Structure 1
Amino acid sequence: MINKEILSFCLKKGILLDKEVLELFSNYPDLESAKFFIEKIKEVSSVNVLTKHTFIENITHFNKAVEFLPEERKKKLEKLKINLGLSIEIIKEISEPNIQESKIIEEKNDSVRVISNYLSPSKKLTVSDFVTHFRNRFNSLKNILQENSSLTNLTSISKISPERKVFSLIGLISSKKVSKNKNLLLEIEDLTGKITVLINKDKKDLFSLAEDLPLDSVIGFKGTISKGTSNKNIFFVNEIILPESSLSLRKKSPIEEFALFIGDIHIGSKLFLEKNFLKFIDYLNGKVPNTPEVSKIKYLFIVGDLIAGVANYPGQEKELSLSDLESHFQKAAELLSKIRSDIKIIISTGNHDGVRIMEPQPLINEKYAWPLYNLKNISFVTNPSLINFGFSNSFSGFNILLYHGFSFFYYADNIPSLIKQKSAHRPELIMDYLLKYRHLAPTHSSTQYYPSEKDSLLIQEVPDIFISGHTHKSGVMYHNNILIISVSSWESMTGYQEKRGAEPDFCKVPIFNLKTGSIKILDFEQ
């Protein structure tokens, strides 16, 4: 048995493997690659107990360490990473390249690569898990904010001195309230202490920005210190600095290809718009006239709620055409198998897909979705996840952040500017808002989440594209050169949505040209 040999090897090297990792290696036939992988991960991680979390955290360092190995060796290691769920490499099939692009295509090793795929261990949670989670979130966002040159004379709360005139603080907002004088008071904290900060109501723009600050977000403040009526220090704010997400330019690929984005298909519902979806599949397969771009469509992203699922809201069972998860996924596989095989389909998880509500949500469960796992052009990623696609030897590709959007309604209902803009019907505004704070759900109560050591909802790396669903509203906009896409639904309005006052969009498909950067919306509703 290979696991005995792996165990023997690890004992000699002073390495311990947890049960999950050992099981992952147990069915892998290439013993030498497994040994090499374990040894290298041990070197770059400097830990003695290897878990899957260790592999995920150190995979980038591992990739750099093996960068100059022979190609054959690297291919073997890539297969091992796929077996461990650490990488997705999909080799592209090119048919009839034109003369102008042939040289570039020959260079191109096109694939879909997972940059961040979040897997949370199963264990009993304690208060210390949340403390560690928030501490690490604070440090990550503090590091981002420290790069902003506006935060001059930066100090920690415990080192505040009355002698300082103008200085800066970075703090996590733990509470907000309005004073008797109608000024806004925030309590912020860092790792050294707490302080009250005041935003004067007469500073209109600053006050408006401060009203929108979400609880538990990490923000930079610039101002002066003074004693309050209770002889406590109060920090008077002159400037607020957000972590922000920004790109200097919009990427363009040297090759003309197209990516499409859909979600909230809800297969298995009586209200599933199957005829419209089949019309979409006909389009992808080149059966619709006057659509020359179709042959260059290479990527289809599905951002959660592929199926209707079961027991997601009161009375849902009356609206289902199929009664169990497995039959939902069988129907989904039947439909997606009709799409031509050279289109890469990437599916992330949503709250209807038979997984836990707590984020990050794991991959769609193979136990129920096995028919989908049998389709070779489909890859599964977690919710959220960060994916790179469309890369080549001469182009770094596009990084796309996929998040289903469960937190969105909280911000639509609680942030003053988003309430005024009726953002529940314009979710791209919520996405724009969250990019400013570098977090998909900064407020503790805005979504159910697993308090992992590394915050999976933190936007650590700024994406080129940010895509979400959940609201069933279609929208596109840019935020500091980041393309924001919200997708519509393929299910008619449910009774539950009607009670909530929803106004869903149907069968709209954003199509993105990787070469020109243009985006338009295809309509399959009619």
Structure 2
Amino acid sequence: MPLEAPARIVGELTSRGYNAEREAVTRLAAAENPNAALERVLEEIPDDALVVRTDHVEAALSTGGAAGAVGAETVAGTEPSPADSTPSVSTGTSSPEDGEPTGGVPVETGGSLSADRSADPAQRSLEIVGDMTGQSTGTGEYSDFVSVFRDRLDRLGAKLRGRVNHRPATAIQDMPGGSEVAMVGLVNDIRSTASGHWLIELEDATGTFPWLVMKDREYADLVGELLCDEVLAMEGTLADDSGIAFVDAMHFPDVPRTHEPSTADRHVQAALISDVHVGSQEFMADAWNAFADWLHTPEARHVEYLLLAGDMVEGVGVYPDQDEELDIVDIYEQYEAFSEHLKKVPGDIEIVMIPGNHDAVRLAEPQPGFDEELREIMSAHDPQIVSNPSMVTLEGVSVLMYHGVSLDEVIAELPEAKASYDDPHKAMYHLLKKRHVAPQFGGHTRLAPEEKDYLIIDEVPDIFHTGHVHKLGFGKYHDVLAINSGCWQAQTDFQKSVNIDPDAGFAPIVDLDTLDVTVQKFS
């Protein structure tokens, strides 16, 4: 079978350890004999090259005969016999019948044919929004903290001021007792009174003002959901002395109930995974190999995108005595091993990756994407490597990718009925409600002050994808699909100590045309 589809060329190059420029792939696919042209390029490419460039292809085509038809000359006007047909470059044999893989074919090459992932690459669309890699300006000075919180209040406050008759804190202090008032601000403090009521202090750019939530009011239950530094609006009535307001209503930035998610125009799927943890003694290589094998089957032929939400490797020095649990102790060797595992994924699948707290980037969020040295190590599939968090749009479907460190904080701070490790997607609902992936500053989640707040959920995503907590869970909140994708690491000693049983070896698969989810288990 001639190698005419660009996707098959990419798969073959990936299996041999090469990345490729898109124009180079296009030129190869347009050659009279793409198989022979590809072989000539690989013969002539410099030994130290990792990327097949357009100039490599042009040089090979110019020396290999018209249109690159090397080794495939036939008599004009005649057709080659079946015995003379050029074999498939992906397998070196005739193509398997009925999608069955040929015996002895390496997993990283055989699957491209088995899956028959032959959709026109021109139908694909992948866009990145909010990648802050290379945009960090924070110096840790006081002015940076002021900037990031002002930006948070301005942008999230804008989503609330249209719902209430907002007044600044200083203006409320000057209003007469008994007045109806409303304020948009950051939660500065939450404390209970001796009578069991709740006192919430809101802060805006002018100052602070206290709001009292009576314990017997129906919305008192919402106090248990609040986190310091989140933005919300309160409405109520001023006390006679105007020193405090009694809360009548609370409003969160939230996802509008009128939100209607976008869907793809064709049947196409995305695999959403995270927390691979290559380098750990508990990395589940067999499960990963089973996943990669499955991606090569006809059942997975519609999976054209793979989104990895952080923690590609186990890292080094992430926690005390971690070296005793490492299978690979050098961080660069961990990424090299991860890259080898990634090569087993079909080369015609588009990959997007963000870092996590175990990866070799700064711990403070937002986390820029990997540096050039690590990108080069992981370049075989030409993945899109972006910051944590980032918004990815796949054929019109927006996916907010966030590793999920703040989920630990949400689960710790909120009542168990509202957020738990057993139902990680429900903790994600609260981040959607607050329209911020890590609202609480100064807690367990390390946050970096920048000129703007990159952690705000400005636009409502169609899918919210996280990892980190090593638990599988998914559901919908106001028609936003929330997925926490589990992990590829068996239970560690630390997880045993805190009684966390990870959901390992699962791959949630999303139909982008319907937003339905199926879960494939490989362990």
Superposed pair shares fold, TM > 0.5: yes
Quick one: distance in 1 between partners of 2:231 and 2:199? 16
Counterpart secondary structure, 1:425:
coil
Q: Deviation of residue 311 (structure 1)?
A: 1.0
Q: Which of 160, 169, 178 in structure 2 is aligned with 1:157?
A: 169
Q: Deviation of residue 96 (structure 1)?
A: 4.5
Supply the AA of the counterpart residue of 1:329: Y
Q: Which of 424, 434, 452 in structure 1 is aligned with 2:431?
A: 434
Q: Does 1:112 align with 2:126?
A: yes
TM-score of the aligned structures, taking structure 2 as reference length: 0.74
Q: Does 1:212 align with 2:225?
A: yes
Q: Deviation of residue 165 (structure 1)?
A: 3.4
Q: Deviation of residue 523 (structure 1)?
A: 0.7
Spell out the pairing of 1:386-401 with structure 2 (5 A cutoff): 386-390=391-395, 397-401=396-400
Give 1:423's aligned residue. Answer: 420
1:377-400, Cα deviation, whole Å (9 max, x unpaired): 41101111111112xxxxxx1111
Give 2:282's aligned residue. Answer: 271
Quick one: distance in 2 between partners of 1:158 and 1:177? 22
Quick one: distance in 1 between partners of 2:264 and 2:136? 37
Quick one: distance in 1 between partners of 2:474 and 2:434? 19
Counterpart secondary structure, 1:409:
helix
1:342-376, Cα deviation, whole Å (9 max, x unpaired): 10011110111111111111112332452212x24
Supply the AA of the counterpart residue of 2:228: L
Supply the AA of the counterpart residue of 2:483: I
Q: Deviation of residue 142 (structure 1)?
A: 0.8
CA contact (8 A) 1:342 1:377 kept: no
Counterpart secondary structure, 2:357:
coil
Supply the AA of the counterpart residue of 2:157: K
Give 1:473's aligned residue. Answer: 471
Q: Deviation of residue 441 (structure 1)?
A: 1.1
Give 2:251's aligned residue. Answer: 241
Please say which of residues 300-309 and 509-518 is displaced more in the overlay.
509-518
Supply the AA of the counterpart residue of 1:335: H
Quick one: distance in 2 between partners of 1:485 and 1:455? 23
Counterpart secondary structure, 1:428:
helix
Q: Does 1:281 align with 2:292?
A: yes
Quick one: distance in 2 between partners of 1:406 and 1:257? 30
Give 2:457's aligned residue. Answer: 459
Quick one: distance in 2 between partners of 1:407 and 1:466? 14
Q: Deviation of residue 488 (structure 1)?
A: 0.9
CA contact (8 A) 1:212 1:415 kept: yes
- Coordinate RMSD, CA, aligned: 1.9
CA contact (8 A) 1:343 1:377 kept: no
Q: How many residues align?
A: 403
Quick one: distance in 2 between partners of 1:212 and 1:424? 16
Supply the AA of the counterpart residue of 2:307: F
Supply the AA of the counterpart residue of 1:156: P
Counterpart secondary structure, 2:446:
coil
Quick one: distance in 2 between partners of 1:462 and 1:421? 22
CA contact (8 A) 1:326 1:369 kept: no
Supply the AA of the counterpart residue of 2:231: V
Quick one: distance in 2 between partners of 1:516 and 1:441? 29
Quick one: distance in 2 between partners of 1:463 and 1:312? 31
Supply the AA of the counterpart residue of 2:391: L
Counterpart secondary structure, 1:159:
helix
Quick one: distance in 1 between partners of 2:118 and 2:393? 25
CA contact (8 A) 1:425 1:503 kept: no
Supply the AA of the counterpart residue of 1:162: P
Quick one: distance in 2 between partners of 1:398 and 1:123? 32
Give 2:50's aligned residue. Answer: none
Quick one: distance in 1 between partners of 2:238 and 2:418? 35
Spell out the pairing of 1:10-409 with structure 2 (5 A cutoff): 96-97=118-119, 110-119=124-133, 120-121=135-136, 124-148=139-163, 151=164, 153-160=165-172, 161-162=175-176, 165-203=179-217, 205-227=218-240, 231=241, 233-246=243-256, 248-286=259-297, 292-373=298-379, 375-390=380-395, 397-409=396-408
Q: Deviation of residue 516 (structure 1)?
A: 2.5
Q: Deviation of residue 176 (structure 1)?
A: 1.1
Supply the AA of the counterpart residue of 1:514: L
Q: Residues 266 and 429 of structure 1: is their aligned pair in 2 closer, same or farther, counting only changes over 3 Å?
A: same
Q: Deviation of residue 123 (structure 1)?
A: 5.5
Give 1:507's aligned residue. Answer: 505
Q: Does 1:445 align with 2:442?
A: yes
Counterpart secondary structure, 2:237:
strand
Q: Which runs of 5+ in 2 are unaligned?
A: 1-115
The runs of at least 4 aligned residues of structure 1 exceeding 6 Å deviation read none
Q: Deviation of residue 511 (structure 1)?
A: 0.5
Supply the AA of the counterpart residue of 2:486: S
Quick one: distance in 2 between partners of 1:210 and 1:348? 33
Identify, as 1 or 2, the structure richer in helix: 1
CA contact (8 A) 2:177 2:239 kept: no
Q: Deviation of residue 95 (structure 1)?
A: 6.0
Counterpart secondary structure, 2:431:
helix
Give 2:412's aligned residue. Answer: 413
